[in-house]
Amino acid sequence: MNLSEHLRVLHLQAQQDVNTASRLEELDALEIRFLGRKGELTQALRGLAELEGEERRAIGAAANDIKQALETQIKEARGRLGEASMGRRLFEERLDVTEPGRSPNKGHLHIVTQAIDEITDIFARAGFVRTRYPEVEWDWYAFEALNMQKDHPARDEWETFFMDTPASDRWGKMILTPHATSGTARCLADKQFPIRAINIAKTYRRQIDVTHAPMFHQFDGVYVAKGVSIAHLKGILEYFVHSFFGAERSVRIRPFHFRFTEPSFEVDITCGVCNGTGFLDGSVQKCRACKRGWVELGGAGMLHPNVLKAAGIDPTVYSGVAFGWGVERNYMMKEGTRLDDIRDLYKNDLRFLQQF
């Protein structure tokens, strides 16, 4: 095959390959194969050195025409394939702005916060206003104003967290408030009758077991007006228990002793873990949360006359009731919660917290 025939066959082969190329990468490879410095057309033209005269000029001109034709064809093919490639990318990477986006994972309120909100709402329907007072409290409001003498066990350093700060001549030592009742002492001092308030706050005690934590939430309710009696207290307790725990739960009060109430009672409710049986799921295994079917809800009673006097209220004119218990313990006894260790609330285990 002479050089002229070889160039013609080479041209036809290049045209066919360029026309059938489907990707830009293939087209780039064909350009190098046929038109590159070591391409087939360049290799073929080395044979011009063996030709002379008119034949050399004619074949050289024909080779140049072939090269220009292939460059034009490759350029057109590159434009065509480039548009097709862009079309595919636009289709594959298209964004439908009308399509709903993916919502981020949302958290929810901690179970204790949910309990506080629910308790606040229940008492709000009964006319009680939520009040808030300091977590760092004075000895006067936590003990003195609540009829607790200087040698009361609750004032021992093994029961109460005392702050390493100078004591006040008027208010005594500074402490982390051990009970929300200190807020009741502050509330009474305002003397805005009738007083119907609940103080929900963090409280601190040196206790930790399945039903106690060194930091927990407690609420203390107080109702002071003329003619308030134990009948009012029983009505408030039953209203709350049936609203929060359900009408099927039972509540009882039994005599007890608190320095700031007289008479005083402890309030119990049937256990929500074992449904008041004292055993788990009908087995012989004792319930860890209650042991005997009842769980202490908190304390209650008629406000002691000395507490009213400390707030500047005449106990011969006004009387009142007070009640208080832990928020966390409330949820331990709530229907369906089946929480048998209060410490689980603060382990930050999402597997547990996401259930509520």
As a whole-number percent, the residues of the chain with pLDDT over 90 amount to 24
Alpha carbon separation from 218 to 20, 130, 166, 180, 273 (Å, rounded) = 81, 13, 27, 6, 21
What's the pTM? 0.65
Looking at residue 238, its pLDDT comes to 92
Looking at residue 284, its pLDDT comes to 72
Closest CA to 322 of 272, 261, 256, 244: 261
Residue 264 in this model has a pLDDT that exceeds 90 = yes
Mean pLDDT of 125-144: 90
- Residue 177 backbone dihedrals phi, psi, to 5 degrees: -55, 125
**Cβ–Cβ under 8 Å, residues 56 and 48:** yes
pLDDT one-digit tens code per residue, 208-261? 777 777 888 888 999 999 999 999 999 999 999 999 888 888 888 999 998 899
Pick the CATH number of 113-130+185-353 from 3.30.530.20, 3.30.930.10, 1.10.287.70, 3.30.300.30: 3.30.930.10
Q: How confident is the model at residue 47 (pLDDT cuts 50, 70, 90)?
A: low
Residue 50 in this model has a pLDDT that exceeds 80 = no
The residues that bridge with 203 in the sheet, in sequence order, are 216
Q: Which residue has the higher pLDDT, 112 or 288?
A: 112
Give 92-122 as a DSSP string. Answer: HT---TTSPPPPPP-----HHHHHHHHHHHH
Residue 289 in this model has a pLDDT that exceeds 80 = no
Residue 1 in this model has a pLDDT that exceeds 60 = no
**Cβ–Cβ under 8 Å, residues 178 and 159:** yes
Give 12-51 as a DSSP string. Answer: HHHHHHHHH--SHHHHHHHHHHHHSTTSHHHHHGGGGGG-
- Reported residue count of the chain is 356
Cα–Cα distance measured from residue 182 to residue 165, given in angstroms and rounded to the nearest whole number: 19
Looking at residue 81, its pLDDT comes to 78
Tell me the range of 13-27, 144-158, 301-315 where mean pLDDT is highest.
Answer: 301-315
Task: Look over the chain and give the mean of its residue pLDDT values, rounded to a whole number.
Answer: 83
Cα–Cα distance measured from residue 132 to residue 184, given in angstroms and rounded to the nearest whole number: 10
